[in-house]
Amino acid sequence: MVCARGRVQPLLAFCRGHVVHFFLADCSSPDEIGFSKLRELSLPYDLIGLQWVTSRVLAVLDCHERLHVIERVLSRDGGTDGVMCVEDLQTLDLERVALVYNSSHFKSLATGGNVSQALALVGERACYQSICNYSIQIFLLGLKAVHILSLTTWKERIDLLVHREHWQCALELAWTFYQGTARAVYGLAGNTEKRKAMVADCMIELLLQYVADTVKKNEHLKAQPAEKACQEVMTMAVDYLILLGRQDVLFGTVWELVSGNSGARASLLSALGTAVLAGRMRTLPPPAARELLSMLRQRGMLANLEACLLQMDVTALDLQQVLDICWTHGLYDAIFYVNNTGMNDYISPMQDILKMLQNSFVPGQQQLPGIKNYPLNMLAIFLQYTGSCINVLLPLLLQKTKFWLEISYLYISGNSCIHVVKVMR
């Protein structure tokens, strides 16, 4: 069946040689049924049988007794000129079935068996009554038994991969169901929102099972080997739960599952850090954010720590603790970001940096970490920050009289003078 102009029309198909022909039946008139050719589908093998499994899935039998499953794919505009998918979704070898060929119609038993050589030759490969379908089942008549093949539902296809412990393949298949790009889908009923909700629940159940199974298998390992063993599952859990919009599950059930395994917890934190750096997650619960920053600091990954802070919503963090870490390790970009976004303070960082810049020219003055060629690079940091803040500061300067500008002169050498703008309260 196809839907055209709000009407459901029967779609007929038959095969000859390697070509499948499709005809659309027009039943608009009660007195006459018309047929119009829709299109042809050429396949790389000769066919001897064809059956509809669903309104979009065909099962075709080639001359080598191999059953191929193909799907009719509608065009984007939803019209009746649907294009056909020539890629086999699945191929089954039916040699062990021993199909029954040649019926009484080709033997002419009613007339004493007098048939032409051509008809006898055709009858050797004729199996019209040996393959038929009922609903999603295909019945095959063999020499010794009747064999039944059935189209598996979307959930059964996932369960089969889980049974074989192909977790990644199962999740990838489930995601195609969620996106609506899977082939030969059966059993997933309802509108788009309902189907997505069903698949999302299945994926969450699958992820939790995968996480629990992996953590249990590696609970006897030490922290570092366990972290490596759990890296793949934690990355998949973070990625898919972000895509599904279920951070509540990520920081709820998944967080609890890894609470007793330090290696698995480190893997989860690493996956969260990757997601934050990629810009796919900005808000983390305070405990998770605190542990992530602590782990990066302990491992000396200060560049990643600063990059994570620049991507995160820091309003839920202990800002004073974060600033202490940043000042200790010279993470100046993060200092500006935390003050600006966390405390809406654009003045204090500028004053602090300017004070350090002035002190940097005093002989014997202690220099802060993280800056080489201290005076020049500290000046570059200050100028970069003032340039990035000018769009924010200018309206404040124009609207509030308590801000004023003071031009100070810093002499780096005897012959050069640099004008620095310092904003005071």
* Tens digit of each residue's pLDDT (9 = 90 or more) over 288-311: 999 999 999 999 999 999 999 989
Report whether 17 contacts 47 (CB < 8 A): yes
Q: Which two tokens stand for residue 267?
A: 């893997």
Sign of CA dihedral 199, 200, 206, 209: negative
pLDDT at residue 70 in the model: 87
* Residue 51 confidence (pLDDT) above 80: yes
Grade residue 314 by pLDDT with cuts at 50, 70 and 90: confident
pLDDT at residue 36 in the model: 84
Alpha helices by DSSP H, 145-261: 154-163, 167-179, 192-217, 223-243, 247-249, 255-257
Torsion of CA 407, 409, 410, 414, to 10 degrees: 160
Most confident of 21-30, 130-139, 386-395: 130-139
Average of per-residue pLDDT values in the chain: 78
pLDDT at residue 202 in the model: 95
Report whether 360 contacts 376 (CB < 8 A): no
Cα–Cα distance measured from residue 79 to residue 405, given in angstroms and rounded to the nearest whole number? 68
Cα–Cα distance measured from residue 323 to residue 327, given in angstroms and rounded to the nearest whole number? 6
Cβ of 23: how many Cβ atoms within 10 Å? 16
Report whether 305 contacts 277 (CB < 8 A): no
For helices 262-277 and 286-298, angle between their N-to-C axes, nearest 10 degrees: 100
Q: Which two tokens stand for residue 204?
A: 């969450």
pLDDT at residue 104 in the model: 58
Q: Which two tokens stand for residue 37?
A: 């050719």
pLDDT at residue 250 in the model: 94
Nearest-CA neighbor of 234 among 285, 293, 287, 275? 275
Top-confidence residue, 187 or 108: 187
Longest alpha-carbon distance in the chain: 123
Top-confidence residue, 158 or 24: 158
β-pair partners for 36 = 24
Grade residue 412 by pLDDT with cuts at 50, 70 and 90: very low
Cα–Cα distance measured from residue 306 to residue 335, given in angstroms and rounded to the nearest whole number? 9
